[in-house]
């Protein structure tokens, strides 16, 4: 399993599984307010909250996602993520996030 | 969210999110011994156990996957899944399992 990578204050990620068409990444938010700012990528994404509660904004629309719930982010759509409490999220991507892969 | 679909004795699934390249499916195993028999598909798969403990066989190799752990199944590789206790699994697929989509 890949090492933890720091993303933003209180937010870190690690790759759980990396394949040809699929990548699974675990993202931990240490505290309420920790956030990943608005961004977009060609990779289609589904986010499943395993612990805590998150507020996502997807294409300008706010969505609260609690533990056991999930969210679809189409390719190229601007989105952000803010923890409302300490949270853990599974982010799955297709194609894999090549930019997340460790550099050789 | 899609309806639950019976798979085998004690095993049911529902689609949580369905996209262009990604599909997320939740699979519940009611009791130890409930199983999905060996099968394969062109869809690449990652399975993440959210609750319980599973025994997978992937290409003849047995792997125990506990809650919080995950497993990669490459495209076209034969695999099965047996619950060692009541379990819930997230199965993500790329491309989506068209055969899981409700018929119009």
Q: Kindly list the structural domains of chain A, giving each domain's residue range(s) and its CATH number in brackets, ordered by start.
A: 5-97 (2.60.120.10)
Across residues B38-51, what is the average pLDDT? Answer: 98
Q: Are B80 and B71 in contact (CB under 8 A)?
A: no
Q: Which tokens sit at B71?
A: 């497993």
**Closest alpha carbon within chain B to A67:** B50
The DSSP element (H or E) to which B90 belongs, if any, is: strand B87-94
Q: Which pLDDT score, from 0 to 100, does residue B103 have?
A: 84
The DSSP element (H or E) to which B88 belongs, if any, is: strand B87-94
Chain A residues lying within 8 Å of B19, measured CB to CB: 44, 46, 72, 74
Please tell me whether the overall predicted TM-score, pTM, comes out greater than 0.90 for this model.
yes
- Inter-chain CB proximity A44 and B24 less than 8 Å: no
Chain B residues lying within 8 Å of A21, measured CB to CB: 21, 44, 75, 94-95
Order of strands, edge to edge, in the sheet holding A79-83? Answer: A35-39, A79-83, A53-58, A61-66
The share of chain A scoring above pLDDT 90, in percent, equals: 95
Across residues B13-17, what is the average pLDDT? Answer: 98
Q: Which pLDDT score, from 0 to 100, does residue A103 have?
A: 83
pLDDT-based confidence at residue A1 (cuts at 50, 70, 90): low
Pick from A18, A75, A92: CB nearest B24: A92
For residues B15-36, one letter each, b for 16 or more C-beta atoms within 10 angstroms of the residue's C-beta and e for the rest, the string is bbbbbebbbbbbbbbeeeebbb
Q: Which pLDDT score, from 0 to 100, does residue B1 have?
A: 67
Average pLDDT, chain A: 97
- For this complex, say whether ipTM is above 0.90: yes
In B44-86, beta strands by DSSP E? 44-51, 53-58, 61-66, 70-73, 79-83
Across residues A53-71, what is the average pLDDT? Answer: 98
């Amino acid at each position: 399993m890949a090492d933890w990578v720091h993303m933003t204050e209180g937010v870190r990620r690690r790759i759980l599984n990396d394949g040809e068409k699929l990548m699974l990444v675990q993202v931990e938010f240490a505290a309420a307010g920790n956030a990943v700012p608005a961004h977009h990528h060609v990779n289609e994404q589904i986010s499943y909250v395993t612990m805590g509660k998150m507020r996502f904004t997807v294409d300008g629309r706010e969505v609260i996602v609690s533990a056991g719930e999930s969210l679809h982010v189409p390719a190229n759509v601007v989105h952000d993520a803010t923890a409302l409490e300490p949270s853990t999220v599974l982010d799955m991507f297709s194609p894999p996030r090549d930019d997340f892969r460790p550099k050789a």
